[in-house]
Structure 1
Amino acid sequence: MTSEQTSVLITGGNKGLGLETARRLGEQGWTIFLGSRDEGRGRAAADKLTDGGANVILVPLDVTSDESVTDAVRLVRKHTDRLDVLINNASVPGN
Protein backbone atom coordinates (compact mmCIF):
# COMPACT_ATOMS: atom_id res chain seq x y z
CA MET A 1 0.00 0.00 0.00
CA THR A 2 1.36 3.42 -0.92
CA SER A 3 0.54 6.45 1.16
CA GLU A 4 0.61 10.09 0.04
CA GLN A 5 0.45 11.35 3.63
CA THR A 6 3.50 11.94 5.75
CA SER A 7 3.81 9.14 8.28
CA VAL A 8 5.46 8.99 11.68
CA LEU A 9 6.09 6.27 14.24
CA ILE A 10 6.20 7.67 17.75
CA THR A 11 7.50 5.28 20.39
CA GLY A 12 6.02 6.01 23.81
CA GLY A 13 3.24 7.86 22.03
CA ASN A 14 0.51 7.12 24.53
CA LYS A 15 1.33 9.85 27.05
CA GLY A 16 3.31 13.00 27.76
CA LEU A 17 5.44 14.50 25.01
CA GLY A 18 4.80 11.57 22.69
CA LEU A 19 1.03 12.00 22.90
CA GLU A 20 1.25 15.76 22.42
CA THR A 21 3.52 15.30 19.41
CA ALA A 22 1.06 12.80 17.96
CA ARG A 23 -1.82 15.22 18.52
CA ARG A 24 -0.06 18.10 16.79
CA LEU A 25 1.14 16.04 13.82
CA GLY A 26 -2.30 14.44 13.53
CA GLU A 27 -3.82 17.92 13.28
CA GLN A 28 -1.52 18.55 10.31
CA GLY A 29 -2.82 15.45 8.54
CA TRP A 30 0.07 13.09 9.23
CA THR A 31 -0.56 9.36 9.59
CA ILE A 32 0.38 8.51 13.18
CA PHE A 33 1.75 5.09 14.11
CA LEU A 34 1.35 5.29 17.87
CA GLY A 35 3.84 3.03 19.64
CA SER A 36 2.84 1.96 23.14
CA ARG A 37 4.22 -0.71 25.45
CA ASP A 38 0.86 -0.92 27.28
CA GLU A 39 -1.78 -1.84 24.72
CA GLY A 40 -4.70 -0.63 26.85
CA ARG A 41 -3.18 2.82 27.38
CA GLY A 42 -2.17 2.91 23.75
CA ARG A 43 -5.70 2.12 22.61
CA ALA A 44 -7.12 4.85 24.87
CA ALA A 45 -4.63 7.40 23.48
CA ALA A 46 -5.27 6.32 19.87
CA ASP A 47 -9.03 6.58 20.38
CA LYS A 48 -8.66 10.08 21.84
CA LEU A 49 -6.56 11.20 18.88
CA THR A 50 -8.92 9.57 16.38
CA ASP A 51 -11.86 11.34 18.02
CA GLY A 52 -9.94 14.56 17.37
CA GLY A 53 -9.71 13.73 13.67
CA ALA A 54 -6.23 12.17 13.46
CA ASN A 55 -5.42 9.10 11.38
CA VAL A 56 -3.91 6.81 14.03
CA ILE A 57 -2.75 3.20 13.94
CA LEU A 58 -1.89 1.65 17.29
CA VAL A 59 1.43 -0.20 17.29
CA PRO A 60 1.99 -2.38 20.37
CA LEU A 61 5.70 -1.84 20.90
CA ASP A 62 8.21 -2.58 23.62
CA VAL A 63 11.53 -1.20 22.35
CA THR A 64 13.45 -3.55 24.68
CA SER A 65 12.04 -6.63 22.91
CA ASP A 66 13.42 -7.70 19.52
CA GLU A 67 10.24 -9.70 18.91
CA SER A 68 8.05 -6.68 19.64
CA VAL A 69 10.11 -4.49 17.31
CA THR A 70 9.87 -7.10 14.54
CA ASP A 71 6.09 -7.30 15.02
CA ALA A 72 5.87 -3.49 14.89
CA VAL A 73 7.78 -3.42 11.59
CA ARG A 74 5.34 -5.95 10.13
CA LEU A 75 2.35 -3.92 11.29
CA VAL A 76 3.66 -0.66 9.85
CA ARG A 77 4.42 -2.40 6.53
CA LYS A 78 0.80 -3.57 6.35
CA HIS A 79 -0.29 0.06 6.25
CA THR A 80 2.42 1.82 4.25
CA ASP A 81 5.44 1.20 2.08
CA ARG A 82 7.51 3.81 3.89
CA LEU A 83 7.91 5.58 7.20
CA ASP A 84 8.88 9.24 6.86
CA VAL A 85 9.78 10.03 10.47
CA LEU A 86 10.69 8.07 13.60
CA ILE A 87 10.39 9.80 16.95
CA ASN A 88 12.04 7.62 19.57
CA ASN A 89 10.32 8.85 22.72
CA ALA A 90 10.06 5.58 24.64
CA SER A 91 11.63 5.27 28.05
CA VAL A 92 13.07 2.10 29.47
CA PRO A 93 11.72 1.05 32.87
CA GLY A 94 14.24 1.39 35.66
CA ASN A 95 16.36 4.02 33.91
Structure 2
Amino acid sequence: MAVDDRRIHCRTAMSAKVKVTHESLGEFTFSTRDISDGGVFIVVDDEPFAPQMGDKVDVQVQGLPVPAPVLKMMVVRKTVDGYGLQFDESAD
Protein backbone atom coordinates (compact mmCIF):
# COMPACT_ATOMS: atom_id res chain seq x y z
CA MET A 1 0.00 0.00 0.00
CA ALA A 2 1.31 3.46 -0.90
CA VAL A 3 2.34 5.77 1.93
CA ASP A 4 -0.37 8.35 1.07
CA ASP A 5 -3.09 5.72 0.48
CA ARG A 6 -5.47 6.05 3.43
CA ARG A 7 -7.96 3.40 2.34
CA ILE A 8 -8.80 0.85 4.99
CA HIS A 9 -11.09 -1.31 2.84
CA CYS A 10 -10.04 -3.56 -0.03
CA ARG A 11 -11.53 -2.47 -3.38
CA THR A 12 -13.14 -4.90 -5.81
CA ALA A 13 -13.57 -4.03 -9.48
CA MET A 14 -17.27 -3.94 -10.27
CA SER A 15 -19.20 -2.35 -13.10
CA ALA A 16 -22.84 -1.63 -12.32
CA LYS A 17 -25.28 1.12 -13.26
CA VAL A 18 -26.24 3.37 -10.35
CA LYS A 19 -28.65 6.27 -10.08
CA VAL A 20 -27.08 9.15 -8.16
CA THR A 21 -29.34 11.91 -6.84
CA HIS A 22 -27.89 15.20 -5.58
CA GLU A 23 -30.13 17.75 -3.88
CA SER A 24 -29.21 20.65 -6.17
CA LEU A 25 -27.55 19.01 -9.19
CA GLY A 26 -30.33 16.53 -9.92
CA GLU A 27 -30.43 12.87 -10.92
CA PHE A 28 -27.79 11.06 -13.00
CA THR A 29 -26.98 7.50 -14.05
CA PHE A 30 -23.33 6.45 -13.84
CA SER A 31 -21.27 3.28 -13.97
CA THR A 32 -19.25 2.12 -11.01
CA ARG A 33 -15.56 1.22 -11.32
CA ASP A 34 -15.05 -0.42 -7.95
CA ILE A 35 -16.72 -1.02 -4.62
CA SER A 36 -15.54 -1.70 -1.09
CA ASP A 37 -17.00 -2.02 2.39
CA GLY A 38 -16.50 1.74 2.71
CA GLY A 39 -17.91 3.03 -0.55
CA VAL A 40 -17.96 3.08 -4.33
CA PHE A 41 -16.23 4.90 -7.19
CA ILE A 42 -18.48 6.30 -9.94
CA VAL A 43 -17.21 7.09 -13.44
CA VAL A 44 -18.60 10.46 -14.52
CA ASP A 45 -16.93 11.06 -17.91
CA ASP A 46 -18.46 14.14 -19.58
CA GLU A 47 -21.63 14.45 -17.48
CA PRO A 48 -22.30 17.90 -15.94
CA PHE A 49 -21.98 16.48 -12.43
CA ALA A 50 -19.71 18.56 -10.19
CA PRO A 51 -20.47 18.09 -6.50
CA GLN A 52 -18.33 19.53 -3.72
CA MET A 53 -16.34 17.40 -1.29
CA GLY A 54 -18.63 16.48 1.59
CA ASP A 55 -21.85 16.75 -0.43
CA LYS A 56 -24.49 14.12 0.34
CA VAL A 57 -25.99 12.00 -2.44
CA ASP A 58 -28.48 9.15 -2.68
CA VAL A 59 -27.27 6.13 -4.65
CA GLN A 60 -29.36 3.22 -5.96
CA VAL A 61 -28.17 0.27 -8.06
CA GLN A 62 -30.19 -0.02 -11.27
CA GLY A 63 -31.15 -3.00 -13.44
CA LEU A 64 -32.00 -5.49 -10.69
CA PRO A 65 -35.18 -7.60 -10.78
CA VAL A 66 -36.47 -5.70 -7.71
CA PRO A 67 -35.77 -2.10 -6.65
CA ALA A 68 -32.50 -1.82 -4.72
CA PRO A 69 -32.36 0.17 -1.51
CA VAL A 70 -31.40 3.84 -1.72
CA LEU A 71 -28.10 4.38 0.09
CA LYS A 72 -26.97 7.66 1.64
CA MET A 73 -23.41 8.49 0.58
CA MET A 74 -20.95 11.37 0.79
CA VAL A 75 -18.52 12.68 -1.85
CA VAL A 76 -15.00 12.13 -0.49
CA ARG A 77 -12.68 12.05 -3.52
CA LYS A 78 -12.48 13.52 -7.04
CA THR A 79 -10.34 12.27 -9.91
CA VAL A 80 -10.19 13.18 -13.60
CA ASP A 81 -12.77 10.52 -14.44
CA GLY A 82 -15.10 10.39 -11.45
CA TYR A 83 -15.82 10.54 -7.74
CA GLY A 84 -15.26 8.38 -4.71
CA LEU A 85 -18.37 8.08 -2.57
CA GLN A 86 -18.32 6.88 1.04
CA PHE A 87 -21.25 5.28 2.82
CA ASP A 88 -22.73 7.93 5.12
CA GLU A 89 -22.94 6.30 8.53
CA SER A 90 -24.39 9.49 10.05
CA ALA A 91 -27.55 8.93 7.97
CA ASP A 92 -28.68 5.96 10.12
TM more than 0.5: no
The alignment's TM-score, normalised by the length of structure 1, stands at 0.26
Higher RCO (CA 8 Å, separation ≥ 6 residues): 1
Task: Please state which structure has a larger fraction of its residues in helix.
Answer: 1
- The structure with the greater share of residues assigned to strand is 2
TM-score for the superposition, normalised by structure 2 = 0.27
Larger radius of gyration: 2
